[in-house]
Amino acid sequence: MYRQRRGMWGHSFQLYAVLGGRKAIEPSNIVLVLFSSCGVITVVLAILLIYRATLSSKEDDQIFIDVAEHLHNEEQQEIIAKMTRLRIPIIALTATSAVLFLSAVSFWLYQGLKNF
């Protein structure tokens, strides 16, 4: 079942699907959801990048290993392991954020050109 609804400026009709008494998501809400989810993903990505930077600042470039510095070597290995584990989530969040941002901008431009 479909229902027609007058647009904001009254000069166009938009078709909305009514499913079980609920309307489908309006185009402006889709853009809002895409930009909001992109923002949330980007904030999580920024937190991970800051965490990786703090780990990186604790990492030493050179380690002189002798018996007395064995604990220092273990700490450095743990830091390197943590940084290695962060690599895949950072790449995934970067790709997800980019896809969401490009989708939101594309949909926003499409809506703007459609109403032009």
11 within a domain of the structure (yes/no):
no
97 within a domain of the structure (yes/no):
yes
Per residue in 86-109, pLDDT tens?
999 999 999 999 999 999 999 999
Bridge partners for 73 per DSSP: none
Per residue in 60-72, pLDDT tens?
666 666 777 777 7
7 within a domain of the structure (yes/no):
no
Q: Kind and range of the H or E element at 98?
A: helix 70-114
Range of the domain at 42: 25-114
39 within a domain of the structure (yes/no):
yes
Helix (H, G, I), strand (E, B) or coil at 106: helix
CA quadruple 77, 79, 85, 87: dihedral positive or negative? negative
10 within a domain of the structure (yes/no):
no
2 within a domain of the structure (yes/no):
no
57 within a domain of the structure (yes/no):
yes
20 within a domain of the structure (yes/no):
no
Could you give the number of structural domains in the chain?
A: 1
